[in-house]
Structure 1
């Protein structure tokens, strides 16, 4: 095992990952605020603790890390080298939990929007446009 993939190095990289106030979240929140859209962040009163919630219109927005939430998971699996079974199990559980949270929120009358984090970074305006369209539709 070389120095780049040592358990200590991997652990150090994982510690840098945050679950809230990530760069994509900050970008989207700033863009929504600039459009006059007011929201709550990390709303613990709802299943899954959505990253952004527009309470008035019952919109729950999640910004998902591609790896952790299984985006393009079949290709991601090929890149796993350490603790492969552990990560596959964890990500499968995350995807199952995301689906359950989505279903619960929909049953409660909420519109659920999920964006991959890279999509938010590269297509912020499209995200804002979609959210604004939902606000108009739900008003």
Structure 2
């Protein structure tokens, strides 16, 4: 059974949008993690529990990003970086104690940089796709043909 082009296009559109939303949610979650860690160190040690809880919520977002990226036809670079984000997040569990704690903080910066790159790239993909469809419609209206 083949999927019609119309259904395939809708799946791709919604998958790209979900990838975009998840990328920005992940970025926001990572920023929240860093803020909570800093507050836990300098203000209130009780915030470590919230730091752990939020991580449990956002740690599998990159897996869903890979799935939606594949369905949405997102470039392989962003899918690969999403997979890398997942592995670095999982690696963070092993770097939270002892001398590896210093690496834990460095990996947080790496996570932020990669997730920012992926989130911005997903924005460019979604916006350029919408602009591309809009430009094609305008160009076809001038030639007298319709979509």
TM-score (norm 2): 0.33
Larger radius of gyration: 2
> Normalised by the size of structure 1, how large is the TM-score?
0.34
Q: Which has the higher strand share?
A: 1
